[in-house]
Amino acid sequence: MLKKSVFNFLTSTKSFSKMLSPLESAKQAAAFKAVDKHVQNNYVIGIGSGSTIVYAAERLAERVSKEKLNVVCIPTSFQAKQLIVKHDLRLGSLDTHPTVDVCIDGADEVDVNLDLIKGGGACLLQEKIVASCANNLVIIADYTKDSVKLGDQYKKGIPIEVIPMSYVPIQNKIRNRFGGDVNLRMAVAKAGPVITDNGNFILDWVNFKQSDDWNQVNTFIRMIPGVVETGLFIGMARIVYFGQADGTVKEQIFNARNK
């Protein structure tokens, strides 16, 4: 039997109310650290997408309510919008707030230069738009996303959002230029492809050769007619928090980043 005092302690704070797996603890630790360090009163905040950002939204709601913060949240996806609404945070848009103080978002892989692969949740287009409007892009990720070179860790490939009618020619052009396989992402609970929040398809480029110049690769792909955006976020992030299995956080900063 658990002693009453121990039980009371374990259930007394929100953080201890759910026992998290090492991976979830890592996500939570990274998210909490980013919100605690980078959110200030009167900020416009970009809210990213994915599973790690769920913890950031929770923490932000906690801080807003306790500290009576006045912040506006700009969503990067339908999911992000739902999180903002669920937590009673103030929903804004780039129409009314085109400059974002800080954008907090997850990533699928982060290399030593803080270049990223994003779009595992098919939200890369709006994520990149909001990140491009932010004075500071802060990435929150668990330890599995920490990589030396892009492609080391994330075997699901580089997501590319495309206009539906162009997906086959785009597959061919990428394969012919760089090799690898370019797969149309299929939906799980629907017969057919994943449709993004913007009504487009997602191609996942896998088994590619590593590049020493991702900027060049990104530029080539973005120039193909029908490509809307890629999940390569090159030179955008300035700070990454990698949550660890023990709940600590590794911080990686790119000081020389110019915006």
Q: Which of these ranges, 8-16, 66-74, 104-112, 219-227, lies near ligand 5RP under the rule CB under 6 A?
A: 104-112
Binding segment toward ligand 5RP, per CB under 6 A, in 66-74, 116-124, 192-200, 218-226: 116-124
The angle at the Cα of 106, spanning 102 to 20, to the nearest 5 degrees, equals 115
Closest to 28 measured CA to CA, from 207, 248, 257: 248
Strands 201-206 and 181-184: antiparallel
- Listed ranges 2-10, 17-25, 47-55, 179-187: which one lies at the site for ligand 5RP (CB under 6 A): 47-55
Q: How many residues bind ligand 5RP (CB under 6 A)?
A: 17
Is there binding between residue 131 and ligand 5RP (CB under 6 A)?
no
Tell me if 203 sits within 8 A of 164, measured CB to CB: no
Query: Nearest Cα to 129, choosing from 165, 93, 96?
Result: 93
Residue 157 binds ligand 5RP, judged by CB under 6 A: no
Asked if 123 is part of the footprint of ligand 5RP (rule: CB under 6 A), the reply reads: yes
Amino acid at 171: Q
Q: Is 57 in the site for ligand 5RP (CB under 6 A)?
A: no
Distance CA(205)–CA(240), nearest Å, equals 24
Closest CB to ligand 5RP among residues 44, 139: 139
List the interface residues with ligand 5RP, window 217-246 (CB under 6 A).
none
| Candidate residues 15, 51, 136, 244; the one interacting with ligand 5RP per rule CB under 6 A | 51
Query: Judged by CB under 6 A, does residue 107 bind ligand 5RP?
Result: yes
Is 127 part of the annotated catalytic residue set? yes
134 binds ligand 5RP (CB under 6 A): no
| Cβ closest to ligand 5RP, residue 131 vs residue 173 | 131
Give the active site residue among 24, 58, 109, 127: 127
Q: Least distance from C-beta 54 to ligand 5RP, angstroms?
A: 8
| Among the listed residues 46, 75, 92, 119, the single contact to ligand 5RP using CB under 6 A | 119
**Using the rule CB under 6 A, which residue among 24, 30, 38, 50 binds ligand 5RP?**
50
Q: What residue ranges bind ligand 5RP (CB under 6 A)?
A: 48-52, 105-108, 118-124, 127
Active site residues: 127
